[in-house]
A and B are shown apart, each in its own frame.
Chain A
Amino acid sequence: MGLPFARLLAPRPEGLEGRDPDFIRRMLPRLWLGTSLYFRPEVNGFENVPDEPVLFVGNHSGGANIPDTWVFTLAYHTYFTVEGRPLAGLGHRIIAMTPVVGDFARKFGMVTAGNEKADELFAAGASVMVYPGGDVEALRPWRDRNKIVFDGRKGFLRLAHRNDVKIVPVVATGGQDTFFVLNDGRATARFLKLDKLLRLKTLPLSISFPWGLLPGDLPHVPLPAKIRIQVLPPIDLRELFGDDPDWDEAYDYVTSLMQVGLSNLATRTVIPVLG
């Protein structure tokens, strides 16, 4: 009786060796069915993805749940098939350390964020997914739900440039309608030194089910908000900015392009949450 539970808790290796195609293949139909019924997702633009390793750069929402990330992962594997180019998502170490959830994520290809690991993934022919905004973005206030909030983080640009891969921007709406964040909570996180202890930059007040009003966020029951995702055409940093880019200019360009895509996608919303 104890064996299956122990197997669940046993940490899987990170990287492509931890990815479990058979597990993804088994889980895909049931997860996609549940997701389709609950979030009614619309995912478009995969035809923009070139047949080569790319760095997907996305905005993500929904606090601890990040439902849009899961929708994208499922949609990627249905469009490109499980046997197609592997997708590895770089995630926060808190997710990787969480029992069961971290293991589940690693089977789907999640890797704890790090430059060397990302370089190895590209060298192995995989595509990589990053969310530069991290917790700052996933816990941004509801009023900023349709804003790109990368907090000035430019590491993703250097990652793409160093590995000579194109950036494929991915924008999503609806995730931040699955719960409500009242403020950005940066001052609170600094006061509690969470940025140094846990690399958490924000500790906002959120309202979610079943927790109600909560400092920060815990895994919660998300509201069934409609999620829309648009994959945008690729950006070749070397072609646009050369071998020695002005990183500030490149950052402004990529975030501006993504903001346009996100704002445009948001015009499809008639009523928040309902879609």
Chain B
Amino acid sequence: MATNVTRTIVVRRPPEEVAAFATDPDRLFPIMGGIDRFERLGDGEYDVFLDVGTIHVGGRVLLENPDSRTLVWRSVRGTTSDFRLEVTDHPDGSLVTSSLSLRLSGLLMARLSEILGRGIMARHLTAGLEQLRHHLEFDRLA
């Protein structure tokens, strides 16, 4: 069983500038309020945990940059997930597309958890993209 959520946002900054920031986990993760804890482990591996209400959900992920505008991770420990962030051109600046998929073992309860998880994932993706947009558009005023 798997569920996938995709969210997009327009950032009014040049794609090169947005991609340089958004595809660098050491710059991206610290501004993400929904990521409660993360740790760089080396060789592209990070421990990443989301704050979901009263619990933390996540685990160890392997991060890669397939090209200069894309960041992906696949989980190697903990909650089984895949993540992809991509920066493309947009008439107003840049379009950032973020996708997160989640796979849970089991049948009925796993399916139910995935349905609930979709909403949680969507809210986290939206919050992360809003934080990225605000940081890049208004950092000069901070």
Residues of A in contact with B (beta carbons under 8 Å apart):
146, 240, 252-253, 256-257, 259-260, 263-264, 266-272, 275
Are the C-beta atoms of B130 and A260 separated by less than 8 Å? Answer: yes
Contact B138–A257 (Cβ < 8 Å): yes
Q: Let me know if B52 is at the binding interface, CB within 8 A.
A: yes
Least distance between B85 CB and chain A CB atoms (Å) = 16
B133 interface residue, CB < 8 Å from A? yes
A272 touches B119 (CB 8 A): yes
| B residues less than 8 Å from A252 (CB atoms) | 137
Give the residue of B116, B127, B137 whose beta carbon is less than 8 angstroms from that of A266.
B127
**A270 engages B131 (CB within 8 Å):** no
Instruction: Determine the chain A residues whose CB is within 8 A of the CB of B138 once the complex forms.
Output: 253, 256-257
> Please, how many residues of chain B have a CB less than 8 angstroms from a CB on the other chain?
20
What are 19 sample pairs from A and B whose C-beta atoms fall under 8 A apart?
Answer: A146-B123, A146-B126, A253-B138, A253-B141, A257-B138, A260-B127, A263-B130, A264-B130, A267-B51, A267-B120, A267-B127, A268-B51, A269-B119, A269-B120, A269-B123, A270-B120, A271-B116, A271-B119, A275-B53
Judge whether B77 is part of the interface by a CB distance below 8 angstroms. Answer: no
Chain B hits for A263, CB < 8 A: 123, 126-127, 130-131
Interface of chain B, main secondary structure: helix
Does A267 contact B34, Cβ atoms closer than 8 Å?
yes
Q: Does B60 contact A (CB under 8 A)?
A: no
Cβ contact of B53, chosen from A146, A264, A268, cutoff 8 A: A268
Query: Across chains A and B, which 7 residue pairs bring their CB atoms closest together, nearest first?
Result: A263-B127, A270-B53, A264-B33, A263-B130, A267-B34, A260-B134, A266-B123
Contacts of B53 in A (CB 8 A): 268-270, 275
- A256 near B134 (CB under 8 angstroms)? yes
B124 at the interface (CB under 8 A from A): yes
Complex Cα spacing A240 to B138, Å: 11
Closest CB in chain A relative to B135 CB, distance in Å? 9
